[in-house]
Amino acid sequence: MTRDPLVVAHRGASGTLPEHTLAAYERALTEGADGLECDVRLTRDGHLVCVHDRTVDRTSDGTGAVSEMTLDDLRRLDYGTPEWPSVLLTLDRLVELALDWTSRPVKLFIETKHPVRYGGLVENKVLATLHRYGIGSPGSADHARAVVMSFSAAAVWRVRRSAPLLPTVLLGESSIALGGGAATAVGATAIGPSVATLREHPDLVDKAAAAGRATYCWTVDDRDDIEFCRDLGVGWVATNFPGPTKGWLARS
Ligand code: G3P
Ligand code: CA
């Protein structure tokens, strides 16, 4: 019998509430999510903030590139809706939220964006942030609390080299890269195909398992896809609807 995949809230419960907001992550926790996914970008003055796009145009009431704005600039904007006004979420605040949730362990899945532009600065800052909270540093007991992910094999490699005990996911759409090549070369502890890629190449899960790697699949919002992932033995599914996903898994 296959084990149910653990459920990761993609940008929070972002199918219900504005993405990357505290409200969306709190909703994910109350809906039973096992993990929280976020994207991180660097501000002009070197802070890590949870924003997916290069600019804030789509997700806030302002405009401009995150990398050209300071933390104070970004904090002046609203990331919610008239019904759910929301302030900017920093990576620090998200880590605190996860650590404060004591009723069950919640894992953070942190995806670094723009890895090429800063040549490792984003990964270094993510690791420094985690270390400040006692996660992933050499003497720390808490290596399972966070996973660092990237579409960039170089970024995954940098994390493996600097924090060898911290789990990593190489995200991608290439069955060649995920089926051995790049995932093996950089020592990723898991592969992260999209559900479309997995539909095309379901053998990726077994190939990864044979190499000692787990599979993290995104973004799985459809019930058929959830069941498909469960039947394949996917370890983690990232979804915009953590509550309904937990419900489907419990009932099927
Ligand atoms: O969880 C991985 C997934 O989020 C990758 O795609 O564009 O949503 O960051 P994207
Ligand atoms: Ca992401």
The model's confidence at residue 227, banded by pLDDT at 50, 70 and 90, is very high
Residue 125 φ/ψ, nearest 5 degrees: -70, -35
Could you tell me the distance, in angstroms and rounded to a whole number, from the CA of residue 139 to the centre of ligand 1? 31
Buried b / exposed e over 172-205, threshold 16 CB at 10 Å, is: beebebbbbebbeebebbbbbbbbebbeebeebb
Q: Whose CA is nearest to atom 7 of ligand 1?
A: 52
Q: Is 211 left (phi over 0), alpha (psi -120 to 50) or beta?
A: alpha
Give the pLDDT mean for 104-123: 88
Task: Please indicate whether residue 37, judged by its CB atom, sits closer than 6 Å to ligand 1.
Answer: yes
Q: What is the pLDDT of residues 5-41, one digit of tens each?
A: 999 999 999 999 999 999 999 999 999 999 999 999 9
Whether the complex's predicted ipTM is more than 0.95 is answered with yes
Q: pTM to 2 decimals?
A: 0.97
DSSP letters along 173-195, please?
S-HHHHTTHHHHHHT-SEEEEBH
Q: What is the mean pLDDT of residues 209-217?
A: 97
Residue-range domains of the chain with CATH:
6-251 (3.20.20.190)
Tokens coding 111? 């995806």
pLDDT of 144 reads 83
* Position 31, amino acid: E
Q: Is 20 assigned a catalytic role?
A: no
Nearest protein CA to atom 5 of ligand 1, as residue: 218
Q: Which residues contact 250 (CB under 8 A, 6 or more apart)?
A: none
For residue 79, pLDDT beyond 80: yes
CA trace torsion 5, 51, 148, 172 (10° rounding):
70
Q: What is the pLDDT of residue 188?
A: 97
List Cβ neighbours of 210 (8 Å cut-off, separation of 6 or more): none
Nearest ligand, measured from the Cα of 109: 1
pLDDT score, position 1: 59
- Whether 19 is in the pocket of ligand 1, judged by its Cβ within 6 Å, is no
**Which residues hold their Cβ within 5 A of ligand 2, which is an ion?**
39, 111
Helices (H), ranges, 76-222: 91-100, 115-118, 121-132, 153-162, 175-178, 181-186, 195-200, 203-210
Q: How far apart are CA 140 and CA 147, in angstroms?
A: 15
- Flag whether pLDDT at 143 surpasses 90: no
Q: Is residue 76 pLDDT above 70, yes or no?
A: yes
Length in residues, the chain: 252
What is the average per-residue pLDDT within 126-150?
89
CB-ligand 1 contact for 171 (6 Å cutoff):
yes
Site of tokens 């800063």: 118
Tell me the average pLDDT across 70-87: 95
Confidence at residue 84, expressed as pLDDT on a 0 to 100 scale: 87
Which helix (H) or strand (E) element contains residue 131? helix 121-132
pLDDT in tens, 163-210: 999 999 999 999 988 998 899 999 999 999 999 999 999 999 999 999
Closest ligand to C-alpha of residue 54 is 1
Ligand 1 atom at minimal distance to the Cα of residue 109: 1
Residue 218: CB within 6 Å of ligand 1? Answer: yes
Averaged confidence pLDDT in the chain: 95
Distance 1 CA to ligand 1 centre (A): 29
**Whose alpha carbon is nearest atom 10 of ligand 1?**
52
Angstrom distance (rounded) from CA 31 to CA 150: 26
pLDDT score at 123: 94
- Point out the catalytic residue in the list 20, 47, 52, 201: 52
- Report which secondary-structure segment, H or E, holds 231: helix 223-232
Whether 143 is catalytic is no
Instruction: Specify the pLDDT at position 137.
Output: 81
Question: Three-class SS of residue 66?
Answer: helix
